[in-house]
């Protein structure tokens, strides 16, 4: 399964996908890494790996609609089977949604539908929730509103600030995102308006109970 991975930042999720591909636990290949910023560290990683890269910056386009179209065309030129938003910090527009119906996934650092948008971990800290986590979901026209494909939960510790919580969440993003991509490639997750799931779920009841130690 050919991927186009869209990034804006450090690219730790991109690295996790690449590592899983190399370890043969993710049946995919990366055809393109595209960014809205030429400074994204994720691009350096992609170039060093010999992966084709593209930078499509809003400021190089007349308006939002022109940028949306340019991004959609650049991504489509790589003929991906799946578009992965891995720390892509912009809302994708109608042109790319139309070209890849039910074929765009996003990783979000919160347990959706709680805490959509920016700063999921900071929102979780501010609300005082005791369980946080990450979500991989299908992208639709809303902000972090598409059908949920998989989630992982982590505890919020009393000493956490948003940074510490985000770091703990990211450990699980790096497992969940490659796993979901592989599940899609194997047909264990079938994408559509209402995705269907045929994978077995392992539930560790002991680990799921987060409580004070005494």
Contact 7, 43 (CB under 8 A): yes
Select 77 or 126, whichever has its Cβ closest to ligand GRF. Answer: 126
**In whole angstroms, how close is the CB of 206 to ligand GRF at the nearest point?**
27
Helices (H), the chain: 12-22, 41-49, 64-77, 94-99, 120-127, 162-186, 205-208
Report the distance separating Cα 160 and Cα 168, nearest Å: 10
Q: Please name the residues in contact with 166: beta carbons below 8 A apart, sequence gap of 6 or more.
A: 109, 120, 121
Catalytic residue among 108, 137, 166, 174: 108
Near ligand GRF by CB under 6 A: residue from 32, 107, 132, 181? 107
Q: Please name the residues in contact with 104: beta carbons below 8 A apart, sequence gap of 6 or more.
A: 82, 83, 84, 85, 92, 96, 97, 138, 139
**Total residues contacting ligand GRF (rule CB under 6 A)?**
13
Nearest by Cα to 3 from 81, 109, 57: 81
Active site residue 174: no
**In whole angstroms, how close is the CB of 66 to ligand GRF at the nearest point?**
25
Near ligand GRF by CB under 6 A: residue from 80, 109, 146, 178? 109
Does position 170 interact with ligand GRF (CB under 6 A)? The reply is yes
Q: Is the four-CA dihedral 23, 15, 77, 106 of positive or negative sign?
A: positive
- Segment 160-163 long-range contacts (CB within 8 Å, at least 24 positions apart): 160/125, 161/125, 162/119, 162/121, 162/122, 162/124, 162/125, 163/121
Select 117 or 192, whichever has its Cβ closest to ligand GRF. Answer: 117
Near ligand GRF by CB under 6 A: residue from 32, 37, 46, 87? 87
Q: In this chain, which residue has its C-beta nearest to ligand GRF? A: 87
Near ligand GRF by CB under 6 A: residue from 37, 103, 108, 168? 108
Does position 58 interact with ligand GRF (CB under 6 A)? The reply is no
Both tokens of 55, joined, read: 């930078």
Does position 173 interact with ligand GRF (CB under 6 A)? The reply is yes
Select 108 or 168, whichever has its Cβ closest to ligand GRF. Answer: 108
Report the distance separating Cα 184 and Cα 104, nearest Å: 11
Contacts to ligand GRF from residues 110-169, by CB under 6 A: none
What mask of x and - would describe binding to ligand GRF in positions 7 to 46, judged by CB under 6 A? --xxxxx----------------------------x----
Per CB under 6 A, residues contacting ligand GRF are 9-13, 42, 86-87, 107-109, 170, 173
Residues classed as catalytic: 108
């Amino acid at each position: 399964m050919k991927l186009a991975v869209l990034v804006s930042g450090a690219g730790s999720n991109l690295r996790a996908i690449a590592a899983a591909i190399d370890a043969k636990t993710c049946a995919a290949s990366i055809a393109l890494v595209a960014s809205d910023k030429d400074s994204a560290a994720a691009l350096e990683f992609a170039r060093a790996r010999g992966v084709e890269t593209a930078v499509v910056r809003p400021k190089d386009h007349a308006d939002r609609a022109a940028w949306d179209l340019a991004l959609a065309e650049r991504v489509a030129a790589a003929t991906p089977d799946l578009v992965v938003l891995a720390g892509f910090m912009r809302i994708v527009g109608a042109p790319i949604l139309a070209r890849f119906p039910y074929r765009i996934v996003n990783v979000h650092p919160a347990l959706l539908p709680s805490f959509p948008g920016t700063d999921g971990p900071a929102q979780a800290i501010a609300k005082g929730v005791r369980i946080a986590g990450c979500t991989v979901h299908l992208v639709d026209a809303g902000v972090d509103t598409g059908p949920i494909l998989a989630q992982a939960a982590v505890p919020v510790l009393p000493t956490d600030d948003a940074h510490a919580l985000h770091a703990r969440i990211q450990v699980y993003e790096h497992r969940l995102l490659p796993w979901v991509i592989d599940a899609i490639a194997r047909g264990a997750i079938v994408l559509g308006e209402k995705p269907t799931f045929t994978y077995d779920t392992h539930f560790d009841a002991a680990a799921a109970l987060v409580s004070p130690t005494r």
